Amino acid sequence: MAERGAARKRTSEEADSSIGAVAGTADPGPLELDRLIHERVRLGIVSALAVNGSVRFTDLRALLNTTDGNLSAHARKLEEAGYIACQKSFEGRVPRTEYALTPVGRRELQAYLDHMEAIIRATREG
């Protein structure tokens, strides 16, 4: 069972690297894969923020079914890259963290979507 899970994970990782390899070799310009967005939790964060003005940390955590630490780490990476903006405030005595997608993040998500569509189109045409 564990072996099958590991095999599935390996296959998934191989597919990920294949996408990156194709993206990197076929056309290094517009088809280059944005690995920052490609990771599942980070992809979930930018997707959720794309259809909302801003989303609270607790709502994102529930939506993506992840832990505080995991969400914080991934959100920090996106924040450092300028894809999302973080606003911290207090609601009474309770700290409140909200995230919003920046114009850079929106552009990169669009590029990522274009990339995925290009892969699907290329496979169908091929």
Partner 1 sequence: MNLARSLRPPPPEPVTLHDRAMDNLRFIRETMERSASFTAVSGWAGVAMGAIAVGAAWAARGQDAPERWVAIWLGAAGISFVVAIAGMFFKARTAGMPLVSGPGRKFASSFFPPILVGGILTVTLYAHGQAALLPGTWLLLYGTAVVTGGAHSVRIIPLTGIAFIFLGATAVFAPPAWGDAFMAAGFGGLHLLSGFLIVRRHGG
Q: Provide the terminal-to-terminal Cα distance of the chain, rounded to the nearest Å.
A: 35
Query: CA-to-CA distance for 44 and 64, rounded, in angstroms?
Result: 7
Q: Torsions phi, psi of 85, nearest 5?
A: -115, 140
Site membership for partner 1, residue 40 (CB under 8 A): yes
Q: Is 87 helix (H, G, I), strand (E, B) or coil?
A: strand
Q: Cβ-count burial of 1 within 10 angstroms (0-12 exposed, 13-18 middle, 19+ buried)?
A: exposed
Smallest separation, CB 36 to partner 1 (Å): 14
Residue choice 36, 42, 57, 64 for contact with partner 1 (CB under 8 A): 64
Question: Does the protein bind partner 1 through residue 124 (CB under 8 A)?
Answer: yes
Cβ atoms of 118 and 31 within 8 Å: the answer is yes
Q: Using CB under 8 A, which of the segments 41-49, 69-77, 81-89 binds partner 1?
A: 41-49
Among 31, 63, 85, 111, binds partner 1 (CB under 8 A): 63
**Residue 54 makes contact with partner 1 by CB under 8 A:** yes
Interface positions with partner 1 (CB under 8 A): 4, 7-8, 11-12, 14-16, 18-19, 22, 38, 40, 43-44, 47-48, 50-56, 59, 63-64, 113, 116-117, 119-120, 123-124
